[in-house]
Amino acid sequence: MGQELFRLKAHEIRGAIRRGETTATEVTQSVLGRIGAVEGKVQAYTEIWGDYAQQRAADIDRRIKAGEDPGPLAGVPIGLKDNYCTTEGTTGCCSKILKGFRSPYNGTVVEKLLDAGAVFLGKLNMDEFAMGSSTENSSVQKTRNPWNLRCVPGGSSGGAAAGIAAHEAAVTMGSDTGGSIRQPAALCGCLGLKPTYGRVSRYGLVAFASSLDQIGPFTKDAEDMALIMGVIAGRDPRDSTSADIPVPDYSKALRDDIKGLRIGLPKECFTDALGAEMREKILAAVEVLKAQGAQVVEVSLPHTEYAIAVYYIICTAEASANLARFDGVRYGYRHPDAKSVEDMYRLSKSHGYGPEVQRRIMLGTYVLSSGYYDAYYLKAQKVRALIKKDFEDAFQSCDIIATPTTPTPAFEFGAKTDDPLEMYLSDIYTSSINLAGIPGMSIPCGLTASKLPAGLQLLGKPFDEETLIRVAYAYEKHSGWERADAPIT
């Protein structure tokens, strides 16, 4: 073929394999070769399943040769965030407390991807238990941004975003609790989608905050996003929170027609907190859409200023409950010096969890404690309802909402680690979307003067991922950005 196979997009790989222009084995070998060439610089993967991937690819090639249809993702190489339960490899959530843990089952999304013919490459680095915005909280390693190796890739799905940007996979899978797909996608210059809460099964995703978590993909373009969403979306009887709503044919959203589409710009997202350069990139991207016939209207999300506070009350409360299961009794890390049950709990947790996870567990336990529940947790849930109502009201006058994904481009390692509050503000434009449960997608919209990506966030009505994909597709066709590539070699 005319280019290196590892640079191909998922739909291009699928087409080339079906036409007999290449094989799943050749594609897999090319991507594994790319991983071997750049992984020492990027450090996106915590585990690389080279032998497994090649065996899987060879099996797909045999099935194709026998005239079988191995699925819509036949031969597409995919990396998985380290909080996906898989029988292959380990599932450690990049935490010492789960180091070496082997899941006895595959999660629903993992099964769907396998059934569709995907080739899994391994597990991707993340902030411990998905708690962080820079992947600096991983107990394993620090993933570097392929656009500038001195900068973070974002978090918590930093390995997934960096892996796509460096062409170490055709697609990667992450999770988003307050921006953990969209924020790193923006910082690494790829597409990242957080579907509507309930659109994709969470069965087999290690829980952080159960009312906020959602599984979603990172892709190189909108066509790949439609392809992957068509595989992973849908009702799952094993997940009581997954919605029994028909899954559309997302490929039908791939049309270059947004004439008359109403795009809402929330005035609360374009304050002085947003730097001039990022504002310029976002508004320029909106102008591209406007030139294609979209209408721009101003909307208001009046409770936006409370989103970060509400998010960090609710997510820490749910984390406090969810992470109680990692006690050193049945599985996971147990401190060797424990002489009593009390010692086991105290030592195992204090040595097994990193500082950020400990901080959030303590915050969550505090807001749920007697005397503080009403003042913090209950009040936060009431404000959450107001935030959700803001979006419902805004969508009365627009079809989608456009905001920045992040207030700044990627920052250097260590720039925010000493100030947790400053780090939490990295999610200022993303956390309210999880609170409201609506879909959100970050799409790349150019480079800053320092040659770092900027991200435009598109927000949709519940279960209307189709419109987000359609707008992303139209933007790609007219922006020229999709041809940009990270400079790492």
Question: Can you read off the two tokens belonging to residue 86?
Answer: 């898989």
Neighbours of 336 (CB within 10 A): 8
Model confidence pTM above 0.85: yes
Q: Of residues 36 and 426, which shows the higher confidence score? A: 36
Q: Which of 254, 262, 239, 289 is CA-nearest to residue 108?
A: 239
Across 260-264, 414-418, 442-446, least confident range: 414-418
User: Which domains are delineated in the chain?
Assistant: 5-268+279-300+393-483 (3.90.1300.10)
The C-alpha atoms of residue 315 and residue 321 are separated, in whole angstroms, by 10
On the question of pLDDT at 317 being above 90, the answer is yes
The Cβ of residue 67 has, within 10 Å, a number of other Cβ atoms equal to 6
Q: Tokens standing for 12? A: 């291009």
The pair of structure tokens assigned to 306 is 């409370």
The angle formed by the CA atoms of residues 250, 210 and 191, to the nearest 5 degrees, is 35
- Give me the chain's average pLDDT, please: 96
Task: For 374-387, write each residue's pLDDT tens digit.
Answer: 999 999 999 999 99
Instruction: Specify the pLDDT at position 483.
Output: 63
Collapsing DSSP states into helix, strand and coil, what is residue 401? strand
Element (H or E) spanning 216, and its range? strand 214-219
For residue 178, which of 154, 144, 206 has the smallest C-alpha distance?
154
Structure-token match 């290690």, residue found: 206
Question: In the structure encoding, which two tokens stand for residue 437, read together?
Answer: 């449960």
Confidence label for 322 from pLDDT (cuts 50, 70 and 90): very high
Query: Regarding predicted confidence, which is higher, 142 or 331?
Result: 142
pLDDT value for 2:
47
One DSSP character per residue, 296-349 reads EEEE--TTGGGHHHHHHHHHHHHHHHHGGG-SSSSSS---TT--SHHHHHHHHH
Its sign, for the CA torsion 205, 209, 214, 217, is negative
| Residue 424 pLDDT | 83
* pLDDT band per the 50, 70, 90 thresholds, residue 481: low
pLDDT at 1 over 70: no
Q: Is the pLDDT of residue 472 over 90?
A: yes
Catalytic residues: 81, 156, 180
pLDDT over 70 percentage in the chain: 99
Phi then psi for 299, rounded to 5 degrees? -130, 170
